[in-house]
């Protein structure tokens, strides 16, 4: 870089006549609060050749100057910018850690420069550990990378006729730490569109750039910001290629994606101990209305006469019909799908002190026990019971956590000590062990 150029990290309001050579790594239009069709400002994030936290700075072009500069500022392009103002970088969720931001003036000079040496994305990836342990300033937007291991249904949270799309995600880093994510609006639609595209197969690795950290009731998660966030999915960039190589088993060709339930935002302890009624197995068949309840029982056998999985639509996760060749039919979307990954559907017999019962456990809960996806294993609802008089019951949530079971027994005095043997999956599962489950699923 020429000696006539200044570095972003040096920029302060204490002098004028700054001149910088930068890459525009993110740009967005900020609409007017009262008239969404009008542009209030154009904002962007710039990076210079150093690529570290203080080498990125936010810049703003206010409404009166947007027509003058908007065609000059393109995301991914390199520019020389001079004669601009410097002001304090305020705001609750800022895309850079820099104390200041650039303010374009009418006299500001912008020149094109084809410098490909400048970083295209300017990523500064933050570890999940630091986020989960609240070591990061939550007023600063962060960059994260991880494998998508869980995805829920996209739902409309709007109370008006204008949809507000919401999509829950779980991503996992190379150290098997999991971070919950919430995507809204166009970002939710982007992920669903990627998942729906049948040309995309295998593991899904994402970079969420300029993500907002959220702490609610002690639980840390991330979500997209209103405008600044950028999502990269399975892009051919150094950061993603390096991440894929670091994945524990090195296999990026089989998906580990599981479906996230959208049933409740309550903690698992509350769902088992407070919010659901505890009943005995012999009481279930006496229920005459739809309900969710909790039973404490031991799995004594797994049904092997029927398939332990079903082929599913990648978009809605519902069962698809096989039509021969490589064609599957999704009745929900009334269309063919080329790819129909298997998802768990395991029928088990359970026993408590009062009787026996048959339950069906689906993908998320089986994955929780086995820690292996149905895809990988294959390659190496109560309302229905009432209507169909069917005595096999859907499992909505399962836990073999020793401490939770002990708490459950304490708050349910009708349970005797001899009801079940308490064995945690943190040790070795005895009823039945994981190896035996796998053995029964794959005879």
Report the pLDDT value the prediction gives residue 186, as an integer from 0 to 100. Answer: 94
Tokens linked to 109 = 């000079």
Higher pLDDT, 162 or 145: 145
Query: What is the per-residue pLDDT for 439?
Result: 52
Is residue 429, in this structure, part of any structural domain at all? Answer: yes
The segment with the largest mean pLDDT, out of 44-58, 86-100, 195-209, 304-318, is 86-100
Structure tokens at 350: 């359970």
Using one digit for the tens of pLDDT, what is the confidence trace for 374-400? 887 877 744 445 455 556 666 767 777
pTM comes to 0.61
| Long-range interactions of 194-198: CB distance < 8 A, separation 24+ | 194/233, 194/234, 195/151, 195/314, 195/315, 196/314, 196/315, 198/314, 198/337, 198/338, 198/339
Neighbours of 369 (CB within 10 A): 17
CATH number of the domain bearing residue 404? 2.40.50
Q: What is the distance between the alpha carbons of residues 8 and 268, in angstroms, rounded to a whole number?
A: 47
CATH assignment at residue 76: 2.40.50.140
pLDDT of residue 272: 73
| Any domain includes 2 | no
In a domain, 121, yes or no: no
Residue pLDDT, tens place only, 87-140 = 999 878 899 999 999 999 999 999 998 777 777 888 999 999 999 998 999 999
Residues 272 and 255 in one domain: no
Give the CB-side neighbour count of residue 71, counting CA atoms within 13 A. Answer: 2
Distance CA 314, CA 198 (A): 8
| Domain-terminating residue out of 47, 79, 112 | 112
Q: Give yes or no for residue 433 having a pLDDT over 70.
A: no
Residues 6+ apart with CB under 8 A from 317: 153, 259, 343, 363
Rg (CA), the chain: 27
If asked whether residues 142 and 236 sit together in one domain, one would say: yes
Same structural domain for residues 197 and 242?
Answer: yes
Cβ atoms of residues 227 and 75 within 8 Å? no
Residues 144 and 238 in one domain: yes
The reply to whether 386 falls in a domain is: yes
Domain range for residue 332?
268-441
Whether residue 434 is predicted with pLDDT greater than 80 in this model: the reply is no
Per the CB < 8 A criterion, the answer to whether 212 and 222 are in contact is yes
Local confidence band at 401 (pLDDT 50, 70, 90 cut-offs): confident
| Among the listed residues 76, 80, 81, 78, the one whose alpha carbon sits nearest the alpha carbon of residue 120 | 76
Do 189 and 134 share a structural domain? yes
Burial profile 261-289: b = 16 or more Cβ within 10 angstroms, e = fewer:
eeeeeeeeeebbbeebebbbbeebeeeee
Tell me what pLDDT residue 425 has. 44
Spatial CB neighbours of 336, under 8 Å, sequence gap ≥ 6: 323, 327, 328, 329, 330
**End residue of a domain, out of 55, 86, 112:** 112
Instruction: Answer yes or no: do 179 and 63 share one domain.
Output: no
Q: To the nearest whole number, what is the mean pLDDT of the chain?
A: 82
For residue 304, tell me if it sits in a domain: yes
Q: Find, among 423, 441, 435, the residue nearest to 297 by Cα.
A: 423
| Least trusted range by pLDDT, from 117-121, 163-167, 382-386, 437-441 | 382-386
Residues 161 and 302 in one domain: no
Q: Count the residues in the chain.
A: 443
190 plus 60 within the same structural domain? no
pLDDT value, residue 56: 93
Same domain, 82 and 140: no
For residue 118, being part of any structural domain is answered with no
Nearest in space to 430 (alpha carbons), one of 407, 406, 400, 405: 400
Is 167 part of any domain? yes
**Is 140 found in the same domain as 107?**
no
Please tell me the distance from the alpha carbon of residue 215 to that of residue 224, in angstroms, as a whole number: 14
CB burial class (10 A; 0-12, 13-18, 19+) of residue 210? buried
**Same domain, residue pair 98 and 190:** no
In a domain, 122, yes or no: no
225 with 324, same domain: the answer is: no
Total structural domains within the chain: 3
Q: 156-170, 255-269, 294-308 — which is least confidently predicted? A: 255-269
Read out DSSP for 177-199? -EEEEEEETHHHHHHHHHHH-TT
């Amino acid at each position: 870089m020429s000696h006539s150029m200044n570095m972003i990290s040096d920029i302060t309001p204490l002098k004028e006549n700054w001149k910088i050579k930068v890459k525009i790594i993110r740009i967005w239009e900020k609409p007017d609060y009262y008239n969404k069709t009008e542009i209030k400002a154009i904002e962007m994030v710039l990076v210079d050749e150093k690529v570290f936290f203080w080498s990125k700075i936010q810049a703003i072009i206010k409404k009166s100057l947007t027509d003058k500069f908007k065609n000059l500022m393109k995301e991914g392009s390199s520019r020389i910018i001079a004669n601009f103002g410097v002001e304090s970088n305020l705001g609750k969720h800022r895309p850079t850690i820099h104390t200041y931001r650039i303010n374009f003036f009418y006299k500001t000079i912008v020149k094109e420069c084809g410098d490909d040496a400048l970083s295209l994305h300017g990523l500064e990836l933050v570890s999940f550990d630091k986020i989960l342990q609240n070591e990061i300033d939550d007023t600063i937007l962060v960059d994260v990378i991880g494998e998508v291991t869980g995805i829920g249904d996209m739902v409309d949270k709007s109370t008006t006729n204008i949809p507000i799309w919401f999509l829950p995600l779980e991503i996992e880093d190379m150290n098997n730490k999991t971070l919950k994510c919430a995507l809204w609006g166009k970002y939710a639609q982007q992920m669903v569109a990627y998942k729906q595209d049948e040309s995309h197969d295998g593991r899904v690795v994402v970079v969420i750039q300029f993500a907002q950290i959220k702490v609610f009731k002690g639980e840390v998660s991330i979500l997209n910001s209103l405008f600044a966030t950028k999502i990269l999915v399975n892009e051919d960039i150094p950061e993603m290629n390096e991440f894929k190589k670091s994945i524990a088993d090195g296999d990026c060709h089989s998906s580990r994606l599981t479906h996230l339930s959208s049933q409740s935002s309550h903690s698992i302890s509350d769902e088992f101990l407070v919010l659901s009624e505890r009943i005995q197995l012999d009481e279930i068949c006496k229920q005459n209305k739809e309900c969710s309840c909790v039973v404490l029982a031991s799995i004594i056998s797994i049904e092997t006469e029927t398939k332990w999985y079903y082929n599913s639509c990648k978009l809605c996760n519902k069962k698809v019909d096989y039509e021969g060749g490589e064609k599957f039919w999704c009745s929900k979307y009334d269309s063919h799908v080329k790819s129909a990954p298997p998802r768990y559907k395991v029928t088990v017999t359970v026993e408590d002190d009062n009787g026996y019962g048959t339950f069906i456990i689906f993908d998320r809960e089986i994955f929780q026990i086995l820690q292996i996806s149905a895809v990988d294993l294959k390659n190496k609802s109560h309302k229905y019971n009432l209507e169909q008089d069917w005595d096999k019951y859907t499992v909505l949530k399962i836990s073999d956590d020793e401490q939770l079971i002990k708490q459950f027994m304490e708050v349910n005095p009708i349970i005797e000590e001899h009801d079940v043997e308490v064995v945690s999956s943190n040790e070795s599962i005895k009823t039945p062990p994981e190896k035996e489950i796998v053995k029964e699923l794959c005879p």
